[in-house]
Chain A
Amino acid sequence: MNRILTKRQLTPETALFEVEAPRIARRWKPGNFIIIRPTPDSERIPLTIVGGNAERGTITMVVQAIGKTTRITVALNEGDSLADLVGPLGEAASIENVGRVLCIAGGVGVAELLPVARAFGEAGNFVTAMCGARSTAQMILDEELRQAASEVVWATDDGSHGFHGNVVQCMRDWITRNPKPDLCHVIGPIPMMRFSAELTREWGVRTYASLNPIMIDGTGMCGGCRVTVGGKVRFACVEGPEFDAHQVDFDELARRNRAYLAEERQVLESHTCRIGLGA
């Protein structure tokens, strides 16, 4: 159960895994996510379903090591099994044929964007995937994105590839040379989602953001994932994770995601000490 069939290291801190999950492989839709525990003592962490293969009975996930649980996960190898894996969770992304779709992603969000970009393409849209990375070394899944989207635009913070700057600066630049998209989809770090949503509001373009609040059960049972959208409290794990980006209270989301910063540092430090990495 939950066995890792293949692993591909994408960057030093990011890995792609193909995991046995036959029931999920049959039912997942772009936008859905899973919750895993790499070991029986781990936290439950949500991860986007990046791909799936119903025949092989597998799904694909891409994990970026940022804290203890993601580090433990990225260190797993082919043949290892995840202690727990549940899904598909959340509502599927709303995919429609509108014409031109701009899909915006940063960091590991680029992987999360892949199934959504592909679905928009398959629905008949002209899809621009606009992706941000710190540097060439952090660019992931470029080839897969090129197959999924009509065009791929990269922005790197250090200018080592594509546009020199962050994704939001890239959007400002891009819009000077391109017609306004009919729809935007954004996924990635909270500041990036917030600023790109502010920009698309100026453009007057409908925009969905896939939110990443802290979750526990992922079944609507705890309310820990609550976000405020259009003044209303919503449970992101069951009503989302995708919401109208122009209605999301990103300030609150950013604050709530920092709730356990001190505790996260504490477990990470004791973890890195134990595995002898030094902080």
Chain B
Amino acid sequence: MGETVPKRNPKAPRQELPVLDLVRRATTCDEVSLGFNIEQAKAEVVRCLNCKDAKCINACPLRIDIKSFIYRLLVGDYDGAYEKIAEQSPFPGVCGRVCQHELFCEDACLLGTKLDPVAIGSLERFCADHNRESARPEAEYPQPTGPKVALVGSGPASLIAAFDLVRKNYRVSVFEALHGLGGVLAYGIPPFRLPRDILNEEIARLQRMGVEFITNVIVGKTVTLDELFNEEAFDAVFVGTGAGLPWLMGIPGENLIGVYTANEFLTRINLMHAHEFPKTDTPVRVGARTVVVGGGNSAMDAARWGKRMGSQTTILFRRGRAELKARLEEIEHAEEEGVIFEYLAAPVALYGDQDGFLREMECIRMKLGEPDSSGRPSPIPIPGSEYRIPVDTVVMAIGQGPNPTLQRATPQLIAKKGKIVIDEQGQTSIPMVFAGGDVVRGGSTVILAMRDGRAAAEAIDRALKGAQGATCEPDLDQAPANA
């Protein structure tokens, strides 16, 4: 088949993602980033240099063959582009939206040394959206028959491990504590950043591949690790339980009504749909004035929900804009949407009325000092700079620690400061129990959790092949061409 290859034009400007208009953003939870249309995708792919030594590929933690999928797009083979990505990841719809690509593939893109890097994340998303809209019939998947692997938690780390293992013929069961699947993707990240039909479809595909999803099971409570091996006959376990333990500041008034952790605030809305109350049953209190404390992804998400629910919303961050830790796109969107950013200040106390409802917040101004252990300049309180502001809702988005449930129930599972300790193989202190993602790293990112899940799947495969000889089918990806 002759392919017409459009002319490359690396100097063409990088395409900007179109976004939803501000009026709709203020009143709906429709997705904010609209994704490239075909013309934009065409205009963007001609920028790629098709590098001989494509650094972008190695920089992607999933090793997506970026150069090839962009080339497929270039020649107009959109199905082929999707399939190229799908060789490594069944989650282009999710990653194309929430991956911090500016730190990974796009950071390594050669074009980026002189000009703007290729918009790889947006192109990945384009492939996913185009594939979904074209509704191509999907191949029948052979159902797995090999050894049994249990994955604990249904966040990104487990999801990619499920994909890798089921493709290698393992029978995979994912156990999730909540009633919904996806981990932070479901309860933390708002639908205006990651529409739920996209998340659910990419998970449903794993189901069609033969992955079993079991909700409402807390490993360590409903079933123990020991029982998974000895009574339910699993051969290996991956622990991807995430960093779900919310931190509080320990300041006076933190238990007043109207003070939420980001997890509670976001779970009430994203998972329980409190924004549709009273159509739905779970309420959330968003008053006239909301202050979100923190500067990461959770803070942006909570603040943007606050705005959508009609509250005047401020992000209070103890350092400066350069030190914010959220994805750049989300910071910009929050700014556009009218979230007020108050830098170099932190709360010191909260005050309520006699019924226990939050009314006022006392803050202190900060200045930046020497870099601290995080490498960012440390905030130093300025004595005597305290001030008070009226507030109805406060969301504490100051970070979270590893989920402790399984560790508490399993004393043999060694953890340091709550984080499960693993060796180079990704194995924990218990043989055949592997771990990865936020429960090992503390809070990190979707793509690093996925990298861990993939590494663990490889280690599990190696360990089980070693233990079980030929019970498992040959790995199609690694089989020699003549096999």
A interface residues (Cβ-Cβ under 8 A, vs B): 23-24, 27, 37, 41-44, 68-69, 83-89, 216-217, 219-224, 226, 228, 233, 238, 252, 255-256, 258-260, 263-264, 266-267, 270
**In residues 198-250 of chain B, which contact A (Cβ within 8 Å)?**
215-218, 221-224, 244-246, 248, 250
Query: Are A219 and B405 touching (Cβ within 8 A)?
Result: yes
Nearest Cβ distance between residue B172 and chain A, in whole angstroms?
Answer: 19
- When the two chains form the complex, which single residue of A69, A84, A221, A259 contacts B244, counting CB atoms closer than 8 Å? A221
Residues of A within 8 A of B405 (CB): 219-220, 238
Nearest Cβ distance between residue B157 and chain A, in whole angstroms?
Answer: 16
If A41-B280, A86-B179, A223-B246 touch, whether A228 touches B255 (CB-CB below 8 Å) is yes
Residues of B within 8 A of A266 (CB): 278
Query: Are A69 and B216 touching (Cβ within 8 A)?
Result: no
Cα distance A264–B278 in the bound complex, in angstroms = 9
If A222-B263, A255-B257 touch, whether A260 touches B285 (CB-CB below 8 Å) is yes
Nearest Cβ distance between residue A259 and chain B, in whole angstroms?
Answer: 4
- When the two chains form the complex, which single residue of A44, A86, A221, A256 contacts B257, counting CB atoms closer than 8 Å? A256
Total count of chain B residues near the partner, CB < 8 A: 40
If A221-B245, A260-B285, A266-B278 touch, whether A255 touches B178 (CB-CB below 8 Å) is no
Residues of B within 8 A of A24 (CB): 222
If A86-B177, A216-B272 touch, whether A267 touches B222 (CB-CB below 8 Å) is no
Cα distance A41–B277 in the bound complex, in angstroms = 11
Cα distance A266–B274 in the bound complex, in angstroms = 14
- When the two chains form the complex, which single residue of A37, A256, A263 contacts B179, counting CB atoms closer than 8 Å? A37
Main SS at interface, chain A? mixed
Is the CB of B327 closer than 8 A to any CB of chain A?
no
* Sample of 8 A–B contacts (CB below 8 Å): A27-B222, A86-B179, A219-B244, A223-B263, A223-B264, A258-B355, A258-B356, A260-B283
CB < 8 Å A-B pair total: 115
Residues of B within 8 A of A255 (CB): 257, 355-356
Cα distance A46–B33 in the bound complex, in angstroms = 38
Query: Are A88 and B264 touching (Cβ within 8 A)?
Result: no
Cα distance A219–B179 in the bound complex, in angstroms = 12
Cα distance A252–B355 in the bound complex, in angstroms = 9
- When the two chains form the complex, which single residue of B177, B215, B268 contacts A216, counting CB atoms closer than 8 Å? B268
Query: Are B282 and A43 touching (Cβ within 8 A)?
Result: yes
Nearest Cβ distance between residue B182 and chain A, in whole angstroms?
Answer: 14
B174-209 CB mask vs A (1 if < 8 Å, else 0) is: 000111000000010000000000000000000000
Residues of B within 8 A of A233 (CB): 248, 250, 254-255
> Which residue in chain B gives the minimum CB-CB distance to A39?
B281
> Which residue in chain B gives the minimum CB-CB distance to A226?
B255
- When the two chains form the complex, which single residue of B218, B261, B267, B272 contacts A86, counting CB atoms closer than 8 Å? B218
**In residues 402-424 of chain B, which contact A (Cβ within 8 Å)?**
403-405, 408
Residues of A within 8 A of B250 (CB): 233
